[in-house]
Structure 1
């Protein structure tokens, strides 16, 4: 079982690490879109697509960067008590709380899949003047939630290994 957990952690962590490092530079895509928006509003006709595309880019940025953030321990945590606990106590608490996160992400993934399939089935479009199809960003959201779910399970396995005194 520990062999499976070790392989799982290595594979999921490697995929999310690479994806997170790539998404880290996605901020420049958003800056370029918003820069073009400013330039086009000042010197040309305003672009209809810039604000919505920037929003889509932001969604991809934080949804696909979330697993990397969790892996690196860069997410928000209440350190009032947590900071003073031993590694085993932290692993105990994290192993319990990550179960709630896994449940939440499972519900989110179910809803995201349902919404994405609806979007594909009916050709759902945004109600703005640009009217882009919504399925591409919904697919990104499903993938990001799925990867966050895999990373949460990886974190659970790391906590279990810490409690057993084993290093994965």
Structure 2
């Protein structure tokens, strides 16, 4: 289970990094708005930089969100199944996710490499290099693939992880269920 903990820990680091990117984007947009409306002189770089950070922000958070079971799921049907069938369905989902990652990696890897080799830029007034943004696509896919393998191993050994439910101070979940 060291592999599972190591991959999940690595993806948690990237999750926290992506949260940090959100805190980096907010001041960039604030600078742009202040410069535009107070000084009538918009920046050529702030909104584009925020846009370039947005993609990596959500891509790098995705693998850890898989661990948290935060992605959209058809759990209405799954919850009606007995525990063994639910585990089987969960185990069958992971190869589908892995295949998706491998297919996308096959195409995204060469595109990111080509972008780096050519020093691709955004062709805007600021014109920054964008290879680093494109490189986060195969990186995130690789991390998602590793997390998928880790979740498959964890589910195979331990069974489905109990879902972490957030409750309000009144003891209800966001959907209104009473948590006992």
TM-score normalised by L of structure 1: 0.85
* Contact map agreement 1:92 1:159 (CA 8 A) in 2: no
What count of residue pairs does the alignment treat as equivalent? 158
CA distance in 1, matches of 2:62, 2:136: 13
Shift of 1:162: 3.8
Structure 1 ranges of 4+ moved more than 6 A: none
Match of 1:104 in 2: 100
**Alignment-derived partner of residue 17 in structure 2:** 22
- Is the alpha carbon distance of 1:96 and 1:129 closer, same or farther for their aligned partners in structure 2, counting shifts above 3 Å? same
Tell me the CA shift for residue 137 of structure 1.
0.8
Cα-Cα RMSD:
1.6
Superposed, 1:138-157 pairs within 5 Å as 138-157=134-153
Distance 2:16 2:130 in 1: 26
Q: Is contact 1:88–1:162 with CA below 8 Å preserved after alignment?
A: no
- Counterpart in the other structure of 2:131: 135
Describe how 1:58-69 pairs up with structure 2 within 5 A.
58-69=54-65
Q: Distance in 2 between matches of 1:14 and 1:88?
A: 28
User: Please, which runs of 5 or more residues in structure 1 have no aligned partner?
Assistant: 1-5, 164-168
Name the structure with the higher helix share: 1
Q: What is the distance in 2 between the residues matched to 1:106 and 1:148?
A: 10
**Counterpart check, 1:81 vs 2:77:** yes
Task: Normalising by structure 2, report the TM-score.
Answer: 0.80
The answer to whether the 8 A contact 2:56-2:136 is kept is yes
Which one has more relative contact order, counting CA pairs under 8 Å at least 6 apart?
A: 1
Indicate the larger mover: 78-87 or 42-51. Answer: 78-87
Contact 1:9–1:157 at 8 Å: present in 2 too?
yes
Gaps of 5+ in 2: 160-180
1:69 offset after TM fit, Å?
Answer: 0.8
